[in-house]
Amino acid sequence: MVLVQIPMYNEREVYKLSIGAACGLSWPSDRLIVQVLDDSTDPTVKTWYDRLRKTLVQQAYPAQADMGLVELECKSWGNKGKNVKYEVRNTRKGYKAGALKEGLLRDYVRQCNYVAIFDADFQPEPDFLLRTIPYLVRNPQIGLVQAHWEFGTAGVWRISALEEAGGWKDRTTVEDMDLAVRAGLKGWKFVYLADVKVKSELPSNLKTYRHQQHRWTCGAANLFRKVGAEILFTKEVPFWWKFYLLYSFFFVRKVVAHVVPFMLYCVVIPFSVLIPEVTVPVWGVVYVPTTITLLHAIRNTSSIHFIPFWILFENVMSFHRTKAMFIGLLELGGVNEWVVTEKLGNGSNTKPASQILERPPCRFWDRWTMSEILFSIFLFFCATYNLAYGGDYYFVYIYLQAIAFLVVGIGFCGTISSNS
């Protein structure tokens, strides 16, 4: 028996896509339970937002008049013979992890052996379970089958592995990474399927993307702080596994990878043009970073022409990731701040006019980020100083980086986000 969990919060643009995709999975109906965990508080999701439509429904189907949009969608699929469970909570304690944890406590979950988790914007292919579950059935030591990471993650857990690892915990904002680390420390093995892909939605504007990156970076650093000692002193995994997890996975990828680009490209190089005593070797500025970047890009040669723009943008984002990393590592204010990624439902090719909800107009200054604008002014000053008094050509790069900070600071890319 397979359980599919779909946690959602005010997902008015994508709830139909995810529920429909989950109900469309190729698996015997009597061996599949789709559990929709709805933490929504938005009145347009919890109740009918169109008074005329509500009046018509009251006349035709009185029992369904007070249902929310998500509940109605679950009811619709239930009428088609699908086993769909609609679950709500009184509070949002623990956010996504809390919803997943509480969902597993339902009585009907006891009959399930495996659980697949999809975010509200995920659209798994119909054969997703047919291509993942067999790995869990054949090898009882495998606790997780992970699909290909494109824009997000999607995997199937063995429920016994999930429970042995301690279940979902809301101590960080990266509940999936937390669970995977704890399961790994218990000796469970994971399978990664590069050929199994799951469609999802990328953030459509900079504000949303920035919140998402903050949550991921801050959560990973905070998890490093919480499980570092546990990983170091555990006796259930070999030394090299612990070394990889602490050094490569956490320290290098979650700490160094954010701090070094920001310090080198946005602090050391700009300040070096103001302080003649500071010299930065060319090999450190050009050769090594260029080699690393090309090695990363070689797997997708069709995007090589985007490399210069990608480097400049990533340097801007390293400014936010470095701040988020220190917040998580030192457990400062906002360490467990959870801002749900806004979704637009771009995966749907067509959308009826009745589903297009009006959004309040966005004022241009709501898109501004003063920290990036001020940093761009500082970089413009450094570049101009180098152009006037310097003997090198660092001003070329610094001008480009200053423009990148300014463009991101004024929100001059992505879609327009509403104030709501």
The Cβ of residue 353 has, within 10 Å, a number of other Cβ atoms equal to 5
User: Residue 67 — φ and ψ, nearest 5°?
Assistant: -75, 150
The Cβ of residue 253 has, within 10 Å, a number of other Cβ atoms equal to 12
Q: Is the distance from CB of 342 to CB of 201 less than 8 angstroms? A: no
Strand partners, 414: 205
* 176: annotated active-site residue: yes
Q: Which one of 39, 121, 170, 178 is the catalytic residue? A: 39
* 121: annotated active-site residue: no
Cα separation, 324 vs 326, in Å, equals: 6
Cα separation, 258 vs 316, in Å, equals: 11
Q: Is the distance from CB of 217 to CB of 170 less than 8 angstroms? A: no
Cα separation, 323 vs 33, in Å, equals: 41
Q: Which one of 38, 121, 170, 176 is the catalytic residue? A: 176
The Cβ of residue 386 has, within 10 Å, a number of other Cβ atoms equal to 23
- Those residues whose C-beta lies under 8 Å from the C-beta of residue 14, and which sit 6 or more positions away, are 120, 121, 201, 343, 345, 347
DSSP 8-class letter at 276: T
Active-site annotation, residues:
39, 176
